[in-house]
Amino acid sequence: MSAVDVQIAGAVGAFDYEVALHLDAPAALVLAGPNGAGKSTTLKAILGAVRPERGRIAIGGADVFDAARGLDVPTELRAVGYVPQAYALFPHLTALENVAFGLRGPDRSARARAMMERLGVADLARRRPTSLSGGEQQRVALARALAPEPRLLLLDEPLAALDVVSRRQVRRFLAERLRSLEIPSIVVTHDIDDARTLGDRLAILERGRVVDSGDLTSVLQRRASPFAAELAASAFPQ
């Protein structure tokens, strides 16, 4: 059984999409495509912030959305970790309070601290998000998303808000982290370097359709679309 199974279709304004994605635990899937391909819509649908017209979404074998049955589990009950593009750390809370936000119980602070230690940001616990660098914010956002032990992790353009130098460092850090997770993750990106480094599985989305998907190397070799060809060209320079 797939750990994540997405088959959705619908329209947002004049844009219509029909997306199918399958992912086995604990792989990292990169969902790549040019701007406006429907990557964010797919991500929001998995999160429960966009309601598709047709289809089904299952996470860890349990349905969270099924249009035919009228099932639509609210976002807060889906147990999907989310790291938004600009991280969306709560500016009025410290880094530790951010990480503890999704935790309950008397040991929430200790658990949040432990997660921050795992991601190497324990020393930032008392800092406010505005005083952190882009790379630090991203680690704190990752710690926050992972702390409640989600069944799936979603990252939206995780490196887009960073400058070129920290981008390279954070990309390496993130690629290692995602590969060591025990849950599946989906990384959305339009950046070619991110697409070929952050996951082992790749799905290419163009104009609301998945034009190719599979393991990274075979998708790159097939060059099923102009975007895929461009990806391949940068992955295997002549």
- Out of 11, 49, 62, 233, the only residue in the binding site for other proteins (CB under 8 A) is 49
In 13-162, where do the E strands start and end? 15-23, 28-32, 54-59, 62-66, 71-72, 80-83, 152-156
Asked whether position 145 contacts other proteins by CB under 8 A, the answer is: yes
Residue 13 binding other proteins, by CB under 8 A: no
Applying CB under 8 A, does 162 fall inside the site for other proteins?
Answer: no
Look up residue 200 and give its DSSP letter.
S
Binding to other proteins by CB under 8 A, coded x per residue (else -) over 79-98, reads xxxx-xxx-x-xxx------
Contact window for other proteins (CB under 8 A) among 28-36, 116-124, 142-150, 167-175:
142-150
Apex CA 54: angle with CA 51 and CA 57, to 5°? 70
- Shortest distance (Å) from residue 114 CB to other proteins: 17
**Nearest-angstrom CA–CA distance, 183 and 25:** 6
**Residue 109 interacts with other proteins (CB under 8 A): yes or no:** no
Question: What's the closest the beta carbon of residue 92 comes to other proteins, in angstroms?
Answer: 5
DSSP notation for 130-168: GGS-HHHHHHHHHHHHHTT--SEEEEESTTTTS-HHHHH
17: contact with other proteins by CB under 8 A: no
What span, in angstroms and rounded, lies between the C-alpha atoms of 221 and 136?
35
Using rule CB under 8 A, residue 148 touches other proteins: yes
Residue 105 in contact with other proteins, rule: CB under 8 A: no
Question: Does residue number 15 form part of the binding site for other proteins (CB under 8 A)?
Answer: no
The residue among 44 and 196 lying less far from other proteins, judged by its C-beta, is 44
Of the pair 91, 237, the CB lying nearest other proteins is at 91
Nearer to other proteins, 84 or 214 (CB): 84
Characterize 223-236 residue by residue with b for buried, 16 or more Cβ atoms within 10 angstroms of its Cβ, and e for exposed. Answer: bbbebbeebbeebe
DSSP-derived 3-state class of residue 115: helix
Among 35, 76, 130, 176, binds other proteins (CB under 8 A): 76
**3-class state of residue 67 by DSSP:** coil
Beta-carbon neighbour count of residue 22 at 10 Å?
A: 15
For other proteins, the binding residues (CB under 8 A) are 44, 47-49, 74-82, 84-86, 88, 90-92, 101-102, 104, 144-145, 148
